[in-house]
Structure 1
Amino acid sequence: MEDVPTSVLSDHPCHLGEGPTYDVTTDTAWWFDIGEGKLFEAHLAGRSIRVHALGRMASALARIDAERQLIVAEDGLYIRTLSDETMTPFLPLEADNPATRSNDCRVHQSGTFWIGTMGRKAEPKAGAIYALHRGKISTLFPGISIPNSICFSPDGATGYFTDTPRAVLYAVPLNPATGLPRGEPEVLLRHTGIGGLDGSVCDADGQIWNACWGASRVDVYSPQGERLRSLHVPAKQASCPAFVGPDLSRLLVTSAWQDMDASARAADPQAGCTFLLQASARGRAEPDVKLA
């Protein structure tokens, strides 16, 4: 376990911190507290942070252009206008199923958006992984309990995901031009030991950076599934990483206090905080989502 220089970006204790992303054009990081329906906005240079109440559970954000974002929420997709913060419905997704909500998501280099859903109480096989491609939503993988670790290799030819209770990270061959599967998922690695596979992101070398929920760490895997590094995170339930900073060398990591009682929270006083790790990474900028 490596102890790299680490600071607290936000000491707001997120119930379920998730979905971090970074806009390199404005030096702004974004993430969510799913359980509280909040969106966090952090301008890294000045460490100024704003909290936006969304009025609904939401878990992910993708940049459309300089003026607009696409928000993935419990009942579908919304276009958020930065100038006035309005949320305009774009497409429904499981809006007729109050038992589910959105979870892990990420944009492929082609602009296709992979979107995960799950049961609000993590009911077995209640969710799925979808693709928003050319303005339409299609189902990629049904019967998912807790979708996580959605990310893509630098060349766009491989997608990764996990169903956390299965403790398996899958690799899927993709069409790099569309971000859609051209084959079946194959097992890349099986997680053993403490914790579980949560959110992941790929770096410029194709390494997979995974937040290990329940183990206070981020693990780095090779494209062949070999664990290369483990970085300590000062909260037990690390949930998702994102590369941030002008050179994308730092790692933002969200965390959560979900399912912790009073004694567990006392033993983990930084649970729910959002951290910056000096990871010496070679990150990649997140691509914009394409709506048509």
Structure 2
Amino acid sequence: MNTDMSVSTWQAELAVDCRCTLGEGPQWDADNERLCWCDILEQRLHWLSPISGESGHYQLDHMVSLAAPLDSGGLLLVGEDRLSRFDPSNGSTETFCDFEADNPITRSNDARVDRYGSLWLSTMGKSAEKNAGSLYRLHRGRLTRLRSNLTIPNAICFSADGQFAWFTDTVTGVVMRWSLDSEGWPQGEPQPWADFSSTTGNPDGAVVDSEGCLWLALWGAGRVVRLDHNGQVIGRIELPVSQPSCSAFAGQDLKTLYITTAQEGFSAEQLAQEPTAGSLYVVETGVKGLADPLLRLE
């Protein structure tokens, strides 16, 4: 792992002072020019319009970790026990299918749409129970389990050409890379790609930019690192809070990087030291992101 102090460094600034308990799943909705993100534990879907600066949230009736824009309009909510269609214009929700509804221990966690318009999504134990989580792919409306016996699956993202997927089980500290076939299905076993097991912070959410580099949140380290094609650190974003969770490129030119954070598990003393923990942060790196395909259910 590259520890060279000369790597490019940026400072993130406060974008929305929302103070989520567990901010997660930032997602750019290009058609509506809105960034959406979730406060999983408080059952809220937040939004920001970068152009107007307006922001707000929807109160939901269950935990949700991602709101993915659909090719048919609206959003698909990845929830603790179901996947649901959501209409932002009126806040209405319609269940699409169950999602580990028979397992009260788990909830949804990380998720991202792949280059084929399918959704990769994961579950984990509500108390991070060991090996309780799984990784799935929702392809044209059909849900397939890809992997089980994971504890905190994270860092789901994809190469621009659709040939590779990345993910991690956060507790291992290792980001894995998985070869994909011509329809986006995994081939063989995933291979270790970047090892953070001996560094400060644990790998959390990730996103890939237009140059093929991966931006990885390091939970507990107050940092997002940029990794090159070989998994080496070539850049880092410093935050004034310790628990960044995931990043997303947003805006018309996809050159603005937003970062969700959390205050989960904080003591009163930690909250006093990091009063804006759980808020949304922003940074201009000069690097352009990749447009996420719309999710296809048919």
Normalised by the length of structure 1, the TM-score is 0.97
Distance apart, 1:134 and its partner CA = 1.7
Deviations along 1:126-151, one digit per CA (max 9) or x if unpaired, are: 01000001211111011110010000
The letter of the residue matching 1:180 is W
Gaps of 5+ in 2: none
Matched, 1:230 2:239: no
Deviations along 1:207-236, one digit per CA (max 9) or x if unpaired, are: 000011011110010121111111111211
Q: Which residue of 1 aligns with 2:58?
A: 52
The letter of the residue matching 1:104 is D
Aligned pair partner of 1:258 in 249, 254, 264: 264
Aligned pair partner of 2:193 in 185, 188, 196: 188
Gaps of 5+ in 1: none
For residues 228 and 180 of structure 1, the distance between their equivalents in structure 2, rounded to whole angstroms, comes to: 29
For residues 197 and 3 of structure 1, the distance between their equivalents in structure 2, rounded to whole angstroms, comes to: 18
Deviations along 1:60-91, one digit per CA (max 9) or x if unpaired, are: 11111363111100011001123322110101
For residues 180 and 113 of structure 1, the distance between their equivalents in structure 2, rounded to whole angstroms, comes to: 11
Deviations along 1:142-199, one digit per CA (max 9) or x if unpaired, are: 11100100000011100000000011100000124x2210221000011021110000
For residues 286 and 110 of structure 2, the distance between their equivalents in structure 1, rounded to whole angstroms, comes to: 25
Q: SS state of the match for residue 10, structure 2?
A: coil
Change (3 A) 1:3 1:200: same
Residues 23 and 286 in structure 1, CA contact (< 8 A), matched pair in contact too: no
Matched, 1:40 2:54: no
The letter of the residue matching 1:106 is R
Runs of 4+ in 1 over 4 A off after TM superposition: none
Q: Which residue of 1 aligns with 2:184?
A: 179
For residues 212 and 90 of structure 1, the distance between their equivalents in structure 2, rounded to whole angstroms, comes to: 33
Q: Number of residues paired by the alignment?
A: 291
The letter of the residue matching 1:64 is L
Seq. identity, %: 37
Aligned pair partner of 2:80 in 74, 85, 99: 74
For residues 120 and 171 of structure 1, the distance between their equivalents in structure 2, rounded to whole angstroms, comes to: 26
Aligned pairs for 1:1-292 within 5 A = 4=10, 6-65=12-71, 67-176=73-182, 178-191=183-196, 192-292=198-298
